[in-house]
Structure 1
Amino acid sequence: MEKNYITFAILLISCSVISQTKGVGINETDPQQALHLGSSNGTIRVDGLNSTNSTYNGGGTETYPLYVDGNGNLTLEFKPLYNSNGSDALDHATLPGSIVTLPAGDNDGTITGELFNFTIAVNRASILEVKYNVSMDVFSTPAEAVITDRRARRINTFFQVNGVGRKYGHAGKCYTGGSADSETGKLFNTSTSYISLPAAGSYVIRFYGEVSSGITGSTANTGLATCVKFARGNDSLLFRLH
């Protein structure tokens, strides 16, 4: 019995030395990190993340993304910077720029207006994922007269970082009408894009609506009267950092 105690003590001392000099290895005789988990089948099991113990694990044979928080804790919980998650992300009543009007006879037949913006602060270089679904109603005037001239209007949406440089997340629709009974129901522009934020700092993501119509070749002053009212439906937004 005394011999067994001595052998166990020597084993503990040996493990302690390995832990101090190389790290702790589980199924590894030569750990390469502070904690090195060895696995012959390429998988590691954490019971705290299974479907019994985590509400974010849906069970079955599906797989689920694993995240790490600022404290180094592992979790299945998805925490984006912002997620409207089914609620209406944009209230047109609080967005003074949500109406973009192209006057009849406009010189180049195109007008762009800023719809809304969000400020994002990051403490490291990051990739920002942006998903949006923005509604719009198309008329010929701000008084909501319907379009009857059978000529197309193009409504494009996009966003920029700090309002300059590359335009991200382009999405567009065309609309026209031929009588006073033309349908004016809501259209939606939807897009996803990824933006490189090169360093820590504050960035303003500015969303724009661009309306164009009436250009024939290079003929000027042929813009057609168009009024697009944005964000009057159930709009959605998601911002996520990578």
Structure 2
Amino acid sequence: MSRIASRHAVTQCVAGLRPAAAGRFPSALALRRLLLLVLAMVCVLPARAADSDAQPAQPKAFSSIDEATRAAAAAREESDRIKRQYEMDAAECMHKFFANSCVEKARVERNEGVTRADAARREAELYIRREQARQRHQKRDQENAERDARAAERTARKADDAASRQPSTPEAPPAHVDSGASAVVTPPPRPARDVDDPQVRAQNRANFERKQAEAREYAEKQAKQREEAEGKRARRRAQREEEAARLRAREQEVRSGLSASQR
């Protein structure tokens, strides 16, 4: 609803409530004016409320986080501007005759403007949070897919390397059968294993020695830490004992002084 329409509604409302014989009570002119002003405010506020309910704000669609960030910053600046404007309007209302009604009107306008600005800011911040969450989930899914692909590639490479290192099994020679004796079957040779490879044995030996060195280093580190902790505990114990000795000596001096004074 426009301002002209609201003024027309106020005029109709006031005209309908105006007394027919205004000239009969000239002494109550100021009271009638005040009553008309109150009735005008009562008519205007429902009209504005109906106007705001009839035209709800449509949610704004953002295309990027940067745009939403700029919109949120602009909404915060607009809210601050409206609050500053209210302070100036309220100060100006103090110089008017109907100061309370003027301040109330400025307060209503401030609340409406701040509510709209805050709604726009919350909408932009909600979009930012949802978009950031979507990007995090997308990045996590992409990392998981890449990790699975690398794992599958490593598995396939290990299988190919194992197949290329494994020698072909030689064919078993035909079994020699002596005449007049039972047939003797020669067992096939044992297939080559990884541990039979000198490089594999050297690598295993190196890994074993490295683990042994790491174990010794860890044990030495633990022993050093235990020794340092024991030294700290001993120093603290010595400090406590020294402090207790000083307190006992001081207490003994006090008792001696009291005994000497009593004598």
Tell me which protein shows more helix as a share of its residues.
Answer: 2
Tell me which protein shows more strand as a share of its residues.
Answer: 1
Structure with more relative contact order (C-alpha pairs < 8 Å, separation 6 or more): 1
Does the pair score TM above 0.5? no
Which protein has the larger Cα radius of gyration, Structure 1 or Structure 2?
Answer: 2
Question: Please, what TM-score do these two structures have when normalized by structure 1?
Answer: 0.19
Question: Please, what TM-score do these two structures have when normalized by structure 2?
Answer: 0.18
